A and B are shown apart, each in its own frame.
Chain A
């Protein structure tokens, strides 16, 4: 047994040097460098040559795969960044506070109101009221498909804080199906001034400011 193993080893040229080369290549690959190759002398092919070739192919494939995977990770990160940016853009876009008239602000609410958005909304509204010295705020909820008790609660709180600033608040655009649901839910919005639509809200606002729109003669 010992004899035959020895004779096989004898068939491999420069064994120590080549093992060293393999170790180096593997170490480089482990460190993330897949560019190096084990030098192969095809003319003197022996049992180890096929192993060396195999390792070379494996490492080169692994290198390609790592490049691909990094590329995919980058693309994914880019998409995540894009989503984040869009989210911010939507948040800004979806909370516009419009100065409709002198001392009249309109806040058209669109989409869903989660806790975060609600708080941000109330905050920017109160700042805007203080800044513009507005007296009337119209909260239009035409674009809110679901008014649950949390949203209703938020509306009540917003209305209360607006009052504390000495301004008045009217909620417009409650859709018929939403109105029925609010009543079923048992939420009491009687403390809140409500009107059917934005144009009614604007008329109400002018009325509160003792203003009148008249046709030109």
Chain B
């Protein structure tokens, strides 16, 4: 279990390289490592862009299946309309709008918990192919 803080842009790189090396340690192949690291990059950047700071928790899962779970928590503005935010090409910050939907496609599961004004928690997971 690894916890990392996001406070500046350089932390995005630190978080995604840590996620990549943990994924490698779990046994994910190169393609999955790249997918995980890219998804982490997107979600970590969201924290940096929208909430300025937050926390990332990376866990190795072994029961019932091997995999990785990453939890992104911030106390930022929250997401007004989660359904809309998950749509391709929609962005409230002028970016490409690929972050959330892209991360969802790159991982096996994604859960978003958010309350406007209180913050956002996003949990993603990917399982090791059997």
Hey, which bits of chain A sit against chain B, CB under 8 A? 112, 114-116, 145-150, 152-153, 176-178, 180-181, 184-187
Contacts and interface: CB of A to CB of B under 8 A. Distances in A.
Question: Which 7 A-B pairs rank lowest in CB-CB distance, beginning with the nearest?
Answer: A185-B102, A149-B98, A148-B41, A177-B34, A177-B31, A112-B13, A149-B96
Contact of A114 (B13, B98, B106): B13
Contacts of B52: none
Given A180-B31, A185-B106, A145 B101 contact: no
Nearest to A156: B96
Interface of B: 9-10, 12-13, 16, 20, 30-31, 33-35, 37-38, 41-42, 45, 88, 95-96, 98-99, 101-102, 105-106
Contacts of A176: 31
A150 B99 CA distance: 9
Nearest to B88: A186
Nearest to A148: B41
Main secondary structure of the interface of A (DSSP, over half): helix
B95 A153 contact: yes
18 contacts: A114-B9, A114-B12, A116-B9, A145-B34, A145-B37, A147-B38, A148-B41, A148-B42, A149-B96, A150-B45, A150-B95, A176-B31, A177-B33, A180-B31, A181-B106, A186-B101, A186-B102, A187-B102
A197 B20 CA distance: 25
Contacts of B105: 184-186
Interface of B: prevailing SS = helix
A186 B35 CA distance: 12
B13 to A, nearest CB: 5
A180 B105 CA distance: 11
A148 B33 CA distance: 13
Contacts of B13: 112, 114
Contacts of B16: 146
A147 B42 CA distance: 10
B98 A187 contact: yes
